[in-house]
Each structure stands twice: as structure tokens, then as C-alpha cells.
Amino acid sequence: MRVPLLWAFLLCPPLTAQDGAQLYGLYCGACHGADGNGATGGQFPPLAGSPWVAGDEERAIRIVLHGLHGPVNVKGRTYNLEMPPQGAMLPDDQIAAILTHVRSSWGNASPAVAPAKVATIRAAQQQRKTPWTAEELLRDFPLPLEKSALSQLISRSYEWSKPEMPDFSTLQALNTEEEHDGLLDAADAPRKEHFAMTWEGTFTAPQEGSYEFLLDADDGAALHLDGKKLVEITGIGPANGGRSKIGKIDLKAGSIPFRAEYYEFTGQEAVSAAWRLKGQKGWNWLSREHMGARPDLEPIPIEPENGRAVIYRNFITGTTPRAIGVGFPSGINLAYSADHLAPEILWTGPFLDGTGKWLERGTNPSPPAGDRVVKCSSSPALPAGTRFRGYELDPAGNPTFISTLGQQIIRDHFEASGGTLTRRISLNSGAPVRVVISDAFAWELTNDQTGKLGPLELHIEGAGTLSQGKPFTLDLTPGTVTLTYRWK
């Protein structure tokens, strides 16, 4: 909800409580639309048919009083637009009138909201100074579960400690459960880390047509229909929409064998899956988690041109605010943190999607648009006192990031070709400088100067001393060390 014109409030006489439709038009319609379907072609959350305004009125009252921050899923679509609080501007009777109008319009059929109820909730939450999040509200006021298209669903969990999908035929299940709600849920596993799961059942296609299946996971997952792999997420990374994938398939109406596979290596555990008919807005969820859905906008790819690497300086999901993205023509990409002086994220495929910056409000970080995302580190890579001095580009657009530690100069150059990323770190003089290559993985030497770095293969040449264990560090001496990253 947004206040379109403060002067309208100051210059016009106050509206009475019975003017719920007029109050809605004044304070809410600019964002949520006169018809409740979201303004600007549905780029704002709809209120028509929304479960968020139905049921217990306290959920909606809290949102109007204190606002809403962060992502929220409404009717199968995820929105991440800030809703400011209205409690300081609107009295109890006007909030009640607006919500009564919303809860009884556009097909909504929930009871009226009494001003006394608003007053009670305002008093109970008077210490609240920040907007609510969807997670907080759903904990107190859960939405009714939608009927899943999955039936006869059986989940199995396994012990597994590698960052890749196992051959499940070689594993013994730790636990087997009937999932009567027809939903995938990684929280059903008997452990929180180093495990894998499968779900097998039947997907019911309501009609013949072209279908899309959405998948997001932390860490890896795959969906199979009728014995064929439809979509897969590999490697290690968060479930925040940046790694989500969509698979497409033509189906006949009826029952189709369904299988989902998942592994959790480290960090959070989450898997999210949904389906829709081609052309449908929003998603029908097959999982308890609702993640990975992006606004239904035509993508605006940011990509290299004329064989030259592209540089993107803006917020990027998974790294610090001073992010510098580099997309190479070979399809390898990185996000360098000017705060931590390190390449914190590496990925392959498409670089970034500019839609969120250029067609929406542009306040949220852009997730990597490709796949095989690897989060290498999340802490300072160089000693305290090191200063970032900018970067240089060679004729092909390849960057060299420059930092100084006193009189010492550290240059960090990157270029890519084929399936490899080459990194050259050099030190001009003085005592050795410790460089953190990764705080997420240890380097496992496999043969002469080549080893595993999580899902990557890393070859190292040059002067310097390498650490064992995690974090994986390099004591850089004057000269140059070359690191060659390759996705396994």
C-alpha cells in the first residue's frame, strides 16, 4: 500500500468510516489497483481472491498498521515491494472501513472488520517499530494449504555428504514416510545437513497442454516426469530465486509418474517446486516452501557484446553491496566484492537479468541468471588495512582489481575461455600477504598442483604457500600465482 499524494489528505476533508471504497481508492488503489488485481499490469500484489486478506482479520490489520517488508507470495507469485505503515496516518475506523471493503469486494467474502478490533490490535502491538515480514505473519496466521497436484507421495531420506546428486540405487534409506499433504518438504528429513531425499508419487495434469515446472533448491534438486528428467539444479547455493530453473513439457490429461530428487550439502535445507500451464500467471505449488518464482516479465539480459566482457556495478545477490559483476563471452561469470576484495560468486551460463532494475523499482539485488553457482567465500580475503583502489580493463574487457597494503600492491586479474576461468594474483614487493581463496571449501589435492575446491577443479601454479583445510589460503610472495578454475 502506498500513499500517492500526501496533499490529498491534507487538503480534502476527512472521509468517514462508511466511505471504505473511497478510502481504498485514495490510499490503496495506486498500488493494488481499482479492481484489486494489482496496478501496472499486476506488478503489485493483488487483493482480489487473496488469502492474505481473508480469514483472521488480525493478519491484514497488522499489515496496514505496521507495513510489510521482504518477499511475499500471493496467488503463486512472489513480490518483493516495500509496503509502508499506515497506522500513524489512518485512524481505527478508517482502517476498519478499508479492510471491510477489501474483504467483501472482487469476489472476496470475509466478514467486516470492526474499529474496536483495530484499536485492540493497535494497543497490543504498540511497541512494534518495524514492518512485519511474511514469515512472522504466517507463523501466527498460517494460510490454508492449497490442494497439491501430487498424490500417493512417498518420501525417502538418505545419508549423503557430497555436493552432487547421488546414485540413489546404491543407498539405503534412513526413513520412509507417506506425505498425505502431497507436498515436498526438506524439513521432513531426520537430519539438517549432509543428506539426500527422494519423493515419488503421481502428478495429475488437469488438461492436455504445454506445462512449465519451476524448481529451486538449497543445494541441488531434480524433477522427473514419466521417467524423464525435466529440470535440474546442480552445485551448492541458496534457494533465493537466483538458481531457480523452469522445465517445459507437453502432457496429456491424467496421471503421470512423478519423482523429485534432492541433496543438502551444507547451510540451509530447502526445496521448492511448482507447475503451471503455459500462459498462466502465477504458480501451483508442489512444495511447502514457495521460492524461486520471479515476476512474469520479459527478461532483459545483460550480456557481453562484440566479444568483450561486460561489467555490472550494482547489487548482486549473495555478495556485499559494493559488488562488481563480470560476464565473460565464454559464458563464465563472477561477482567480485570490493568490500571483501575477493571473487565471492562464480557461475556459468547467462550473466544477469536487468528486468528488476529497469522495469521494477530496482531496489533488490540481481541474482545470477545462469547455473552451477558456486559461493566461494563471504569474508575479507586480504589482511586488515588493505584498501581497494579500483580496477583496470584490458582491450577485451578483462578486469584487474587493484588493492594496496601499505606500499604493497596486489593485482587480481581475471579472464575466461572455453570452460575455464583464469585468475592471476600478483604482489609487487615486501613480505608475504595471506589471501583467502575460499572460506567455504578446503582444497583437496588430487595430483600435481591440481585439486578439488567444492564443485570446482582448481589448478595452481606459481610462488606461494598453500594452506590445508578451511579456510583455504595462499601466502602470496612477490611474483604471480595463477589459479585456473574449471567446473567438474
**pLDDT of residue 327 exceeding 70:** yes
Say how far apart CA 315 and CA 186 lie, in whole Å. Answer: 29
Q: What is the pLDDT of residues 428-461, one digit of tens each?
A: 999 999 999 999 999 888 887 899 999 999 999 9
- Tell me how far the alpha carbon of residue 269 is from its chain's centroid: 13
**pLDDT of residue 2 exceeding 70:** no
Say how far apart CA 146 and CA 136 lie, in whole Å. Answer: 20
**pLDDT of residue 469 exceeding 50:** yes
- List the one residue out of 155, 163, 187 whose CA is nearest residue 272: 187
Torsional sign, CA 115, 120, 126, 130: negative
Taking each helix axis from N to C end, the angle separating 57-66 and 92-103, rounded to the nearest 10 degrees, works out to: 130
What per-residue confidence (pLDDT) applies to 242?
A: 74
User: What are the strands, taking DSSP E only, across 50-149?
Assistant: 68-69, 72-74, 77-79, 132-133
Q: Between these two residues, 323 and 294, which has the higher pLDDT value?
A: 323
Residues 6+ apart with CB under 8 A from 488: 452, 455, 456, 457
| Backbone phi and psi for residue 123, each to the nearest 5 degrees, phi listed first | -65, -40
**Residue 428 CB neighbours (<10 A):** 12
Q: What's the grid cell of residue 227?
A: 521417467
> What CA–CA distances, in Å, run from 58 to 107, 376, 467?
20, 43, 55
Mean pLDDT over the full length of the chain: 87
Element containing residue 383 per DSSP (H, E): none
What per-residue confidence (pLDDT) applies to 397?
A: 94
The upper half-sphere exposure of residue 276, i.e. CA atoms within 13 Å in the direction of its Cβ, equals: 16
- List the one residue out of 290, 262, 264, 263 whose CA is nearest residue 275: 290
DSSP 335-368: EEETTTTEEEEEEES--EE-HHHHTS---SPBPB
Confidence of residue 17 (pLDDT cuts 50, 70, 90): very low
| Backbone phi and psi for residue 47, each to the nearest 5 degrees, phi listed first | -105, -25
Say how far apart CA 198 and CA 186 lie, in whole Å. Answer: 10
What per-residue confidence (pLDDT) applies to 1?
A: 39
Amino acid sitting at position 425: I
**pLDDT of residue 120 exceeding 50:** yes
Question: What's the longest Cα–Cα distance across the chain?
Answer: 81
Q: What is the pLDDT of residues 338-384, one digit of tens each?
A: 999 999 999 999 999 877 666 554 455 788 988 889 999 999 999 99
Q: What's the grid cell of residue 267?
A: 547451510
Choose the weakest-confidence range: 121-130, 408-417, 460-469: 460-469
**pLDDT of residue 463 exceeding 80:** no
pLDDT > 90 in the chain, percent? 56
Element containing residue 63 per DSSP (H, E): helix 57-66
| Backbone phi and psi for residue 34, each to the nearest 5 degrees, phi listed first | -60, -30
Q: Is the peptide bond before 365 cis (omega within 30 degrees of 0)?
A: no
Say how far apart CA 422 and CA 126 lie, in whole Å. Answer: 56
What per-residue confidence (pLDDT) applies to 296?
A: 57
Average pLDDT over residues 281-290: 85
Q: Taking a C-beta distance cutoff of 8 angstroms, is the pair 286, 184 a contact?
A: yes
Q: What is the pLDDT of residues 356-366, one digit of tens each?
A: 666 554 455 78
**pLDDT of residue 11 exceeding 60:** no
Average pLDDT over residues 377-403: 96
Residues 6+ apart with CB under 8 A from 316: 323, 325, 335, 345, 352, 365, 366, 367, 368
pTM of the model: 0.48
Q: Between these two residues, 447 and 130, which has the higher pLDDT value?
A: 130
Alpha-carbon Rg for the chain, nearest whole angstrom, is: 26
Q: What's the grid cell of residue 441?
A: 571449501
Q: What's the grid cell of residue 301?
A: 539480459
